[in-house]
Structure 1
Amino acid sequence: MDIVVGALSGIVDALPGKLGELLEQEYALLSGVRGDVIFLKDELSSMRAAIHYCESLDHHDSQTTGWISLVREVAYDIEDWVDLFSIRVHGGAQSTSGFRAWLSRSVDKLTALPARHTIASELQGLKERVLEISRQRNRYRLGQMVGTTSQHPHDPRLSALFVDPGRLVGFDGKVEDVSKTVMDAGGSNGLRIVSIVGMAGSGKTTLANAVYRRLQADNTFQCSAFVSIGPKPDMVKTVKDMLSRLGDGHRGGEDISQLIPRVRGILEKKRYLAWIDDIWSSEQWGVIRCCFPDNSLGSRIITTSRNDALPTNHHYGSSKFVYKIGLLTDNEARELFLKKAFSSRNDCPQHLVDAFTKVLRRCAGLPLAVVSVAAKLAHKQSREEWEKHGLNLLYSSHSDGSDGLKQILHLSYSDLQPQLRSCLLYLSIFPENSEVETDRLVRRWIAEGLIAASNEDTAISSLNELIGRNLVQPLDLNHDSIPRCCRVHPVIYDFIVCMSMQDNFATVTDAQHVPINNKTVRRLSLNLKSNSKQDQPAARNETTDLSHARSVTVFGHASATPHLTDLKVVRVLDLEGCKGPVCLDGLCKLVLLRYLSLRGTDVSELPAAIGDLRCLETLDVRSTKVEELPPSIVRLQKLMHLLAGSAKLPDGMDKMKALRSLSCAATTKSSANVVEELSKHHNLRQLELYYYATETPGNEKQIKFPADGLQTVKQLCIRCTSPSVTFEPRVLPKVQALVLRFEKGRADDTIGVSGLEHLSSLKHLVLEFEQHDAGAMATVTAVRMAAEGLHLDHQYITLKVDGKKY
């Protein structure tokens, strides 16, 4: 049985600290409650050690699996209790000082007494659950005599070492390219290291083996050696294996500091070829790299890794090259599948063509997926069997841990830190092949507490690590090399859906209303896009208990959105892109809500009391019919991302000190221009302004950014009818990315955009016109010259007119 601890330790790790913070606050806990909180804090700290031990096991029995499930569910409920505590007792009010504040707190204590007794009762229930979990662990001696830390009995990559190079599909060009890279002297006889990197199952070992055997056959090297490391290596044994392959028959010695000099002694005066397969960590590479002297004899090392970052570490002065292995083309994948599934046949039987096309699309060019699925289906003749086993290979009830594809993916998953596992599983919420906007993803991670520091930079680093490990694919990099969007390969998506279901991390259902299991729903994803009748409103699932749901995400039709009054602890409500009417009844009672997206829906008005959502961090109503935000919005002291699109802001925006991102109309109810008011914000980093003038053509208002304004903004986007923008000296000193989107060019001879030379930190400029006219082309020419005067790299200047680049 696969270990299903998953992201659990991340939850349990954070809770003791959260309970400790609760004890340090000013709240006067009821008699006995403080003691119960201390008990939970200590008991969870003890459970944490057991959880970490379970994570070290490769397998464990059903009793341990059940115990882990109980710990996970009680950990969620304790965290919900903690987050609700201050809100139910003090209404979420901030701690203040003075007599008036003391009087207010005294009144609050009296009025909140019923809630306090409810809190104490809930805490007693949680304590009893924790006690029973602890008793169960002791009763069955869980974490002591269960599981095994042994290596997998079969290495699923082993077959790649014995593939006949002549039978490879789609690798001829890759073998040629890597061989040339390895052998290219470049005028130097120094040591050259070539690292092959790519996602699990992409054929790294197969490619490295083909290159290694080809170079061995040339007899240009005096000696050669191959070792495979893996995620849990015995480095002493690894170095001994290398010695054996180099002809050192003496197997004595257990100290690696003695073994490494023996390897170096053999290689010191020889031109050698080494292949180090499956490197997982910098520590592993740091040790094995010490075995290879740079003897200036033209020696070569080939490495493979799933982590793009590892090959660049510990190379010292050696020449180093990274080869990123790509996926198979559609034709290559088809050829390989037919060869594996039908042997000598060149075509798929007619009755299986549709199923074959679907299965091949799911494999999406991943060689191991193609080979594994083709082997599963080789002796199956019916279309039903093909669709059953080919489209549900990883998460059907027929899959088990012995499946090579799933096992290889599980190695990558197990190697992640708990926080990264949670972040990866979170992508199972989005439909397959979704292009998920980075901002949307990281803000949701933070809203649900998956990022420990609640910091966007930390969240971006986590995303980059998942990308570097080839578990997530980046799309459309910006000037900082941060992807604007990302997605996961279909095979990895299947895997994370499988793990998410096992861990009860997220509950995914579709338009056919697949029955939700009887587990407590923690995250709900409703995907109605697959409904052939999606124009018709879909009924809600009225029987599902969503009182413990932390996030609700709906794709397709808004009518499937659960009743908001049922969502007691929801942190994320995401209806982005939903069609049809949206009911917001009960929205302002979602006291823990941190992320609300109504982007692209038919919403035309926000509730007047939206300012009651004191925990709200992100509000997105772009591309809706909302024309004006309610005045109460300024009470949202924790709001960091206010994305209102073309909607007008209320007065008093200077009160919203936490704002980091803002998208809005360039005017408020009483102000002709919002720029001066926004200049008072010292945390604002991203700004998008909509200027849609109602004046007659030729009488557009000039958009001016005054001197010394917007000192902290790093990204600025302006959308308006025609170019009439001026940047004065010392404005926007930190802006790095500027996007100007105009509907049409200017009718007169003026340039329309001036003062670009004052944007001293500008790195990336995007200028777009929706219409091709003389004014647009004149502005393009003028802006290009101004941008070149700033010495911008041409790859970071994007000029588009009517969708065409210039």
Structure 2
Amino acid sequence: MDIAVGALSGMVDSLPGKLGDLLQQEYTLLSGVRGDVGFLQSELGTMNAALLRCESLDNPDIQTRAWVAQVRDLAYDIEDWIDLFAHRVDGGADSPAAASAAAKSSSGFLTWVRCCVNKVTTLPARHIIATTLQELKTRVVELSEQRKRYRFDPPAARGGVAGGVDPRLVALYADAGSLVGMDTPVEEVSEMVVDSGKAALKCVAISGMPGSGKTTLATAVHRRLKEQKRFDCSAFVSVGQKPDIAGKTLKGILSQIGGGYGGGEDISRLIGMVRDELKDKRYLIVIDDLWTRTEWPTLRCCFPDENLGSRIIVTTRNDVLAKECSSNSGDCVYKLGLLNDVHSRDLFFSKAFGKGNDCPSHLKDLSPQVIERCGGLPLALASIAGALAHRFPKDEWERYASNLLTSSYSDGQNLKQILNLSYNDLPSHLKSCMLYLSIFPNNYEIDVEHLVRRWIAEGFVADTRYTSKEERARSYLTDLISRNMIPTLHLRHDGTPRCCKLHPVIHDFIVVKSMEENFVTLVDAKLEATSTNNGTVRRLSIQNSVKQDKIAAQNDDMIKHARSLTVFGHGSGVPRLNDMSVLRVLDLGGCNGPVCLDGLCKLILLRYLSLRGTDVSELPAQIGELRCLETLDVRSTKVKELPASIVRLENLMHLLGGNAKLPGEIKKMKALLTLSCADVGKNTVSVLQELGELGNLRELELFCDATENAADKKRVSFPSNGFKGVRQLCIQSSLPSVTFVNSSLRKVEVLELKFEKGLSDGSTSVSGIEHLHNLKHVVIEFSQDDAGAIATIASVKKAAETLHPNHPDVFDKINRRNN
């Protein structure tokens, strides 16, 4: 059993730095507090080294696993203490920047008086801080002593799958006649490899998610081409997660192509021997299970190119690596997909019931659910069918229908071990991001914008000098996608993901992992058992809640340390907010029925708040107290006007107000990067002028009202000097009525126009697109198909093709279901 350290080691690794930053701040600390902070900083550095050693153990004992769990809870509590520190001391004072400005404008005497008053008024809070810190120090000392009493086993190599034979070996010796759904892939890859008429050395890469059958496919192609005697010699070798290029890979190639290696481990000598043996030969080499780019340059130089039509096949879980290995910059990559419904059923039934045998009648309703849960993944279908073979009690099948990886049967564990290889290969920051997805229900479409902002709010994304946190978070997502851990569902016009949805097997895997690490606690009203380890709740996901539910998570003692709360279903599932003082993320988007927001303004660490699509009609007037808030989403709600105090949210970067009216003084919100709001129909001209002065604003979404009454026709227009930083503009309106004047919105690169219908007279009313000098992409969409919609699209395309100097791409869509 692998120890569940994963994302924890990354968090503990960051805590000494956060404590160091705290020591550099000019906070007034009580006597001894600064020394205690320094002690924690030093001790946590040593503790993190011990955690990394624990992570390397293949079979940790019970005491070690218990110690890791205690370190996990301690690390969470220390981070909560750090984040609460400044807020308790400042007592809601101005931001550091504002305080600095005030100090510069005040005399030295007044500044001294202000500091003295602050010391007195915050004295109780500072005593609480000091007391809590002493408790944390005591816990650190106790854990440190426990670690010294443990005797750790020497770290074991983790090149293969612990606890048994690597199940991937079965693919190397599978009977060709038993393969299901492989005929077409084998034919297509064989054609890519042979590529008649091409004499130059060519490399074909096969990529896909873990368990998709890459090794099986490569083995079948190798066997087929070998039987056809198209090559003078061939070899099939596996690299694996812990490669041994000299001792295993190169010697394996030599032994299969007929050359002896005569002993020795000198890699240069072995490379020379492989090249000599392949000289003047047409060869086929399969490099299976390549994990990193480090080994590929060494392997590639083993294979001479003598224009004899030689070929290399590489299999990998990483799409980026597949492109790097393949010839022609990725044109020779075969992305292996999943089995269709028919092939999935055939494979599952043959493994579960034997060839020619049908499903027992009492399992006919459950077997489709289990097969669907496998999501067309061959390894899952074969493993779970093997686990259920000759086990026909209905209750055992029901367990697999809800989660494939909760059973202890060995075949099911093989599937988990294969997925563990990909998980363990992730760096610590990606493990956190990956586990976080267990918050969402199975088959849930996850909006990328929301996910990225939630990652940031949770503190998973590190600060960098040259890129923003959002750019860095997107690179995390891109990395997970390239590793085939997260599949994309819908793409934007520029090829970037708009939303993603986890494969059911991957979802089940990370749910189990999250439970092992107490990363997420799931409360599912549809299941009899709640997915919790009865420990402290750090992230709570309440799923399938209905009006009549009495959610078990209402226990205040369990949830008072929750950092994240997400509710799917009815608003009655929302626990009391009053005591959740360390909550960073509150996502109630899409909840049905009334939602209680009592205690919301006490969540001083809250960074992400989504009420989108709820029945909320009014925000608390004191919402300006949430000084840490970075994202506020009230789109598709009944909120008609945002409170005036919202302008005090100096850290707010994403204000998604939808049709709500904005307050005055919006220009104070200098941090705004994204804004969604109503247009002139609800906001005054002065508010729009203030918006135009927000220099950091990058994305603007406007909801507009328009009528066909000539006397009351409202047109969206932009001043020539406003919105200088906006790069993406989205306008949603019932009718197309938009005008861009010369020199307006000079930096806009993406323009999205979404209308319900066209004008009844068939005319167009979108003009001035040629004035958007930096425009690269235009997306125009209509909900209804009519003459006005067709005319508007044609007009926009003509302007882009003939009037605009950049000739931007135009993507159009009409929802013809409303005819």
Class of the TM-score when normalised by the shorter of the 2 chains = over 0.9
Deviation track 1:266-320 (CA, whole Å, cap 9, x = no partner) reads 1132111000000000002222122112221111001100110102226687986
Partner of 1:41: 41
- Check conservation: 1:647, 1:664, Cα contact below 8 A: yes
Partner of 2:503: 489
1:67 aligns to 2:67 (yes or no): yes
Alpha-carbon distance in structure 1 between the residues aligned to 2:807 and 2:68: 53
Dislocated runs of 4+, deviation >6 Å: 316-319, 791-795
How far 1:44 moved relative to its partner? 0.6
Alpha-carbon distance in structure 1 between the residues aligned to 2:694 and 2:410: 55
Alpha-carbon distance in structure 2 between the residues aligned to 1:804 and 1:712: 37
Gapped regions of structure 1 (runs ≥ 5) = none
State the TM-score, normalized to the length of structure 2.
Answer: 0.93
Query: Partner letter of residue 486 of structure 1?
Result: C
Which one of 168, 172, 186 corresponds to residue 157 of structure 1?
Answer: 168
Query: Partner letter of residue 526 of structure 1?
Result: I
Distance 1:741 1:319, change over 3 A: closer
- Check conservation: 2:783, 2:818, Cα contact below 8 A: no
Query: Partner letter of residue 469 of structure 1?
Result: R
Alpha-carbon distance in structure 1 between the residues aligned to 2:596 and 2:535: 27
Determine helix, strand or coil for the equivalent of 1:745. coil
Alpha-carbon distance in structure 2 between the residues aligned to 1:517 and 1:581: 30
Partner of 2:3: 3
Alpha-carbon distance in structure 2 between the residues aligned to 1:610 and 1:575: 16
1:566 aligns to 2:579 (yes or no): yes
Single out whichever of 755-764 and 715-724 deviates more from structure 2: 755-764
Partner of 2:287: 276
Alpha-carbon distance in structure 2 between the residues aligned to 1:705 and 1:331: 55
1:625 aligns to 2:622 (yes or no): no
Which one of 103, 108, 118 corresponds to residue 108 of structure 1?
Answer: 118
Alpha-carbon distance in structure 2 between the residues aligned to 1:384 and 1:592: 44
Query: Partner letter of residue 395 of structure 1?
Result: T
Alpha-carbon distance in structure 2 between the residues aligned to 1:472 and 1:553: 21
Partner of 1:711: 724
Trace 1:605-624 onto structure 2 (pairs within 5 A): 605-624=618-637
Distance 1:255 1:402, change over 3 A: farther
Alpha-carbon distance in structure 1 between the residues aligned to 2:567 and 2:393: 35
Give the superposed CA RMSD. 2.2
Trace 1:72-471 onto structure 2 (pairs within 5 A): 72-92=72-92, 93-95=94-96, 96=100, 97-98=103-104, 99=108, 100-142=110-152, 145=154, 149=158, 151-152=160-161, 153-185=164-196, 187-237=197-247, 238-313=249-324, 321-389=332-400, 391-396=402-407, 398=408, 403-453=413-463, 455-471=469-485
1:783 aligns to 2:796 (yes or no): yes
Alpha-carbon distance in structure 1 between the residues aligned to 2:791 and 2:134: 73
Alpha-carbon distance in structure 1 between the residues aligned to 2:138 and 2:310: 65
How far 1:13 moved relative to its partner? 1.1
Alpha-carbon distance in structure 2 between the residues aligned to 1:302 and 1:499: 33
How far 1:795 moved relative to its partner? 7.4
How far 1:703 moved relative to its partner? 1.4
How far 1:610 moved relative to its partner? 0.3
Distance 1:39 1:769, change over 3 A: same
1:701 aligns to 2:702 (yes or no): no
Distance 1:772 1:247, change over 3 A: closer
Alpha-carbon distance in structure 1 between the residues aligned to 2:783 and 2:237: 58
Query: Partner letter of residue 82 of structure 2?
Result: V
Single out whichever of 643-652 and 343-352 deviates more from structure 2: 343-352
Single out whichever of 61-70 and 432-441 deviates more from structure 2: 61-70
Alpha-carbon distance in structure 2 between the residues aligned to 1:316 and 1:655: 54
Alpha-carbon distance in structure 2 between the residues aligned to 1:401 and 1:73: 33
How far 1:734 moved relative to its partner? 2.7
How far 1:659 moved relative to its partner? 0.6
- Check conservation: 2:595, 2:615, Cα contact below 8 A: yes
Query: Partner letter of residue 617 of structure 2?
Result: S
State the TM-score, normalized to the length of structure 1.
Answer: 0.95
Distance 1:344 1:402, change over 3 A: closer
Q: How many residues align?
A: 798
Alpha-carbon distance in structure 2 between the residues aligned to 1:561 and 1:472: 29
Distance 1:772 1:125, change over 3 A: same
- Check conservation: 1:521, 1:549, Cα contact below 8 A: yes
Deviation track 1:141-161 (CA, whole Å, cap 9, x = no partner) reads 34x547665743411100000
Trace 1:720-735 onto structure 2 (pairs within 5 A): 720-735=733-748
Alpha-carbon distance in structure 1 between the residues aligned to 2:680 and 2:715: 13
Query: Partner letter of residue 122 of structure 2?
Result: A
Partner of 1:16: 16
Deviation track 1:591-647 (CA, whole Å, cap 9, x = no partner) reads 000000000000000000100000000000000000110010000000000001111
Single out whichever of 752-761 and 595-604 deviates more from structure 2: 752-761
- Check conservation: 1:522, 1:551, Cα contact below 8 A: yes
- Check conservation: 1:703, 1:725, Cα contact below 8 A: yes
1:474 aligns to 2:516 (yes or no): no
1:753 aligns to 2:753 (yes or no): no
Alpha-carbon distance in structure 2 between the residues aligned to 1:319 and 1:392: 36
- Check conservation: 2:314, 2:325, Cα contact below 8 A: no
Alpha-carbon distance in structure 1 between the residues aligned to 2:440 and 2:253: 45
1:671 aligns to 2:672 (yes or no): no
Query: Partner letter of residue 88 of structure 1?
Result: R
Alpha-carbon distance in structure 2 between the residues aligned to 1:791 and 1:365: 48
- Check conservation: 2:519, 2:539, Cα contact below 8 A: yes
Deviation track 1:316-348 (CA, whole Å, cap 9, x = no partner) reads 879861000010000010011111112132532
- Check conservation: 1:666, 1:674, Cα contact below 8 A: no
Query: Partner letter of residue 608 of structure 2?
Result: Y
Alpha-carbon distance in structure 2 between the residues aligned to 1:539 and 1:283: 50
Deviation track 1:211-260 (CA, whole Å, cap 9, x = no partner) reads 01111111121111111011111222121222222222234222212211
Single out whichever of 239-248 and 112-121 deviates more from structure 2: 239-248
Trace 1:530-549 onto structure 2 (pairs within 5 A): 534-536=546-548, 538-539=550-551, 541-544=553-556, 545-549=558-562
Distance 1:318 1:271, change over 3 A: farther
- Check conservation: 1:362, 1:491, Cα contact below 8 A: yes
